[in-house]
Structure 1
Amino acid sequence: MTSAVGRMTGTIRERVPTLTALPLPRAVDRRILAKRWPVRELAAPPAGSGLEPVLGDEGPPLIGHTLDFMRYGVDYALRRIELYGPVFWSGAFGRRIVTLASPEATQIALVNKDKAFSQEGWRFFIERFFHRGLMLLDFGEHHMHRRIMQEAFTRDRLVNYVGQMGPTLRAGIADWESNPAPRLYWSLKQLTLDVATRVFMNMRSGPEAHAVNRAFVDTVRAATAVVRLPVPGGRWAAGLHGRKVLESYFARNLPAKRAAPGDDLFSALCEATTEDGERFTDADVINHMIFLMMAAHDTSTITSAAAAYYLARYPEWQERAREESLRLGDDIPDIEAVESLRTLDLVIKEALRLVAPVPSLSRMTVRDTEVLGRYIPEGTLVGVSPTANHFDARYWTDPHTFDPERFADDRREDKSHRYAWLPFGGGAHKCIGLHFGTLEVKLLLHEMLRAYRWTVPRDYTVRWDYVSLPVPVDGLPVRLHRR
């Protein structure tokens, strides 16, 4: 066993930061991550296969490493690579979960040439709350649903969506003036929820919008509940209730959307028809709306929060971005104007690298397979790790450093490997709304830059909590200065 560990990790140690190099917040964190657990094989490879076993450990009794990743995120992932190499397993959520933590390993799973990796992995976490959302569908069925849904994200549709976002974002950001020291993450979360309800459903603020937004928040948080039972007051129970609220809302409003569609996404899904005449059923529309609301508003909140944080930490980049925004004038920009904001492109891409909105992409093996010579049996829960890929020193210069210029045309480090940078996933399941999300974040930051300068204390460093998706543990306190 010791020799196997040596073979699998010998080369990786040369390119992964040692534990002492990781930017951990406190010495106690170093001690927790340094703790060693008995190393075990996931499963013995078939005789004569020439494959190596996947190595890993269970972690603490009962909870495994569930809380370790939630608490330490990137640092935890890099520590596991340092111990076991880019393919390892960990005990978490009552299961043994294999992690693929390099661009090369990621490519095998996401290209999925042999169709050994299924979306069943996502179903383990979110099926009860996002039943038959696009991300949970496989193979031919996924392809058909994606073809239909693409009609809701055409260029003409995006033009309309951006036109609807602008006034909501400008008004919402102007309202921040009453609180010059907000917890920015929560302000952004409310703002992106308002955009989602406006653009997705043509729904105005009010009690019903508040109930719908609350239901979305509960369904998202339930997916990573440690206690996965409907205990009263627990996350799982709140998520199940939230799902019922959302189903009821969309079912009530769907007939009117079918009869008199508008420019919102709900209408677009009701109308979407391929050249072959394929359309969504009512149940499909409801399932996809619930999923898309989750996928859109949470990832936009995380990305805008991360980008805003780095713009506060690096004011020279904030001023550079502001100069571009001010050159657009006072009108709310259209899609072409938003796309012209090159500095924000660089900043957002770097923020997506440093804080991947979806830190792990779940899969399940539907047959015995291998990744980089490691044997993974059928029925194994697998996590593909953008979090690790984005810090791989073979492909990124000083990967822990904020450096938006790495995405400039003369460097393009994101092109160093096809799967070195994958904030939107990859392969057949690459995020269908990536252009929508990027436009929303750029427009949001543009409006912030016009209205305020914002700062954080010089010695402040944000810490991200991965209990569900990345959230700053303190809400990201900033100081807003009205321009």
Structure 2
Amino acid sequence: MTSAVVRAFRERVPPLTAIPLPRAVDRRLMDQRWPVRELATPPPGSGLSPIVGDAGAPIVGHAIESMRFGLDFALHRFEKYGPVSWMGAFGQRIVVLAGPDATQTALVNKDKAFSQEGWQFFIERFFHRGLMLLDFEEHHLHRRIMQEAFTRDKLAGYMRQAAPVLRSGVAAWAGAERPRLYWLLKRLTLDVASRVFMDMPPGADADAINQAFVGTVRAATALVRVPVPGGRWAAGLHGRRVLERYFAEKLPSKRRSEGADLFSALCHARGDDGAEFTDDDVVNHMIFLMMAAHDTATITSSAVAYHLAKHSSWQERAREESLALGDELPDLEALAKLTTLDLVIKEALRLTAPVPSLPRKTVKDTEVLGHYIPAGTMCSVSPNTNHYSPDHWTNPRAFDPERFAEGRREDKSHRFAWMPFGGGAHKCIGMHFGINEVKLLMHEMLRTYRWSVPEGYRIKWDYVSLPVPVDGLTVRLQRLR
């Protein structure tokens, strides 16, 4: 693999072997050499090239390395095989599409060869018929109806509901000098989702819902995919049943009301042609949206908080803008003035994509960058690799929010150079809600506390499901007033 883009990675991105690995077993995992093979023989006369890769260990393939090393494993595979390769994982042969050009082919999906069945393999049992799992015309119909719940007026209303929850929640941390910040943020983002999405106050119900969501999310990457008692798969199935019962019980009252929460909005949403969601549709979409909203907001706010802890000058710069807003709860117009937070949030999303892999499955023979992919093939688009491409980002491992400022805009180097919210027809419908929620949360932290991490501390992310800080992100928290 000697293409220019691969050579660029070798020259400008530190190789995985340069990153200290804590244990001998980690070194052995990454240094293990497996036989390189072709995925499938291209049709005669097609002019296409075969995809090469390796299966890894029997049955589990490279699932363990992928979950343990995350970003570094993705970059390691790209360096070794280039933008189109295959690997074994979860008992499957999975084609990995890495880099902006390969990503564009799959997500623009002009010939409708790539379906959401890839997601279905991982999360269908737990997030049945959520928006992200629907395909083509059906997806377009559901998205068109759901868009009524994400208009700017609706978004402004959601932020008005979120603001007091975040202010009181952040203030309640005052007694915690060295908290594990990730878990505080997760509790708080769930409280926001419960209030904004369901009009549900914090309490025992919210705790049970949170536990159910944790079970369903972690089950997606279970290596043992049968309901063994005590296993992740069984916990995920139990979590799904809890969520279904909860939303089904609440649905009739939401149908009757005209509340400002998302649950009510979905119950009353209508497409241009008058189409509406069935009860089952509403339950399925609520389960998926609640998961997507609070998990990705937790990951993003954790990443932003980490980088602000590491880079005190950026924290002070952002704090100055937040304090300038005064003591009023900010609305969308006020949040738009927090330009430093805009830059930091975008850079944090680049460095830690909340969803590091976007599964797809081919429904017919197709090709990507001249490589043959047969029908029925599992594929995975890799945002992490795009976000660290030295052909599109200056010094990609460095924290440099100014790369998003006018005059540089490195994110404009390619349509898919920066894609924390996916792309194409399935680009995240709630991305504006998510960014404004994180901005509102960080605003409250900045006006209330100063926080730091020890010199030399480097966050380590656990990729067993979505990224989670291994140590929970312990910070030193100092109240300002």
The answer on whether the counterparts of 1:22 and 1:75 sit within 8 Å (CA) in structure 2 is no
RMSD, aligned α-carbons? 1.3
Amino acid at match of 2:301: S
The answer on whether the counterparts of 1:148 and 1:278 sit within 8 Å (CA) in structure 2 is yes
Say whether residues 1:87 and 2:72 are aligned partners.
no
Say whether residues 1:326 and 2:323 are aligned partners.
yes
Change (3 A) 1:141 1:345: same
Say whether residues 1:228 and 2:225 are aligned partners.
yes
Give the corresponding residue for 1:36: 33
Once the 2 structures are TM-superposed, how far is the Cα of residue 151 of structure 1 from its aligned partner?
0.3
- Among residues 421, 424, 427, which one is paired with 1:424 in the alignment? 421
Give the corresponding residue for 2:455: 458
Distance, in Å, in 2 between the alignment partners of 1:163 and 1:10 is 49
- Among residues 7, 13, 19, which one is paired with 1:13 in the alignment? 7
- Among residues 250, 260, 265, which one is paired with 2:262 in the alignment? 265
Change (3 A) 1:114 1:24: farther
The answer on whether the counterparts of 2:116 and 2:360 sit within 8 Å (CA) in structure 1 is yes
Distance, in Å, in 2 between the alignment partners of 1:138 and 1:249 is 27
Once the 2 structures are TM-superposed, how far is the Cα of residue 221 of structure 1 from its aligned partner?
1.1
Give the corresponding residue for 2:346: 349
Consecutive unaligned residues of structure 1, counting only runs of 5 or more, are 1-5
Once the 2 structures are TM-superposed, how far is the Cα of residue 63 of structure 1 from its aligned partner?
1.5
The answer on whether the counterparts of 1:18 and 1:82 sit within 8 Å (CA) in structure 2 is no
Distance, in Å, in 1 between the alignment partners of 2:184 and 2:230 is 25
Moved over 3 A (4+): 20-32
Question: After the TM superposition, which residues 17-416 of structure 1 pair with which residues of structure 2 at under 5 Å, given as runs?
Answer: 17=13, 19=15, 22-26=18-22, 28=24, 29-30=26-27, 32-416=29-413
Amino acid at match of 1:269: L
Q: CA-to-partner distance for each residue in 1:6-31, whole Å, 9 max, x for gaps?
A: 46x57512334352575444474455
Distance, in Å, in 2 between the alignment partners of 1:339 and 1:55 is 47
Q: CA-to-partner distance for each residue in 1:15-57, whole Å, 9 max, x for gaps?
A: 3435257544447445532332110111111112111111111
Distance, in Å, in 2 between the alignment partners of 1:61 and 1:361 is 23
Amino acid at match of 1:241: H
DSSP-derived class of the 1:383 partner:
strand
Distance, in Å, in 2 between the alignment partners of 1:126 and 1:22 is 35
Change (3 A) 1:432 1:24: farther
Once the 2 structures are TM-superposed, how far is the Cα of residue 363 of structure 1 from its aligned partner?
0.4
The answer on whether the counterparts of 1:125 and 1:224 sit within 8 Å (CA) in structure 2 is yes
The answer on whether the counterparts of 1:24 and 1:75 sit within 8 Å (CA) in structure 2 is no
Consecutive unaligned residues of structure 2, counting only runs of 5 or more, are none
Q: CA-to-partner distance for each residue in 1:226-275, whole Å, 9 max, x for gaps?
A: 11110111111111111111111111111111111200000000011122
Once the 2 structures are TM-superposed, how far is the Cα of residue 299 of structure 1 from its aligned partner?
0.3
Once the 2 structures are TM-superposed, how far is the Cα of residue 64 of structure 1 from its aligned partner?
1.0
Distance, in Å, in 1 between the alignment partners of 2:216 and 2:374 is 31
DSSP-derived class of the 2:207 partner:
helix
The answer on whether the counterparts of 1:131 and 1:287 sit within 8 Å (CA) in structure 2 is yes
Once the 2 structures are TM-superposed, how far is the Cα of residue 431 of structure 1 from its aligned partner?
0.2
DSSP-derived class of the 1:348 partner:
helix
Distance, in Å, in 1 between the alignment partners of 2:252 and 2:457 is 51
DSSP-derived class of the 2:379 partner:
strand
Q: CA-to-partner distance for each residue in 1:352-411, whole Å, 9 max, x for gaps?
A: 000000001110000011100111110000000001000000000000000000000110
Give the corresponding residue for 1:3: none
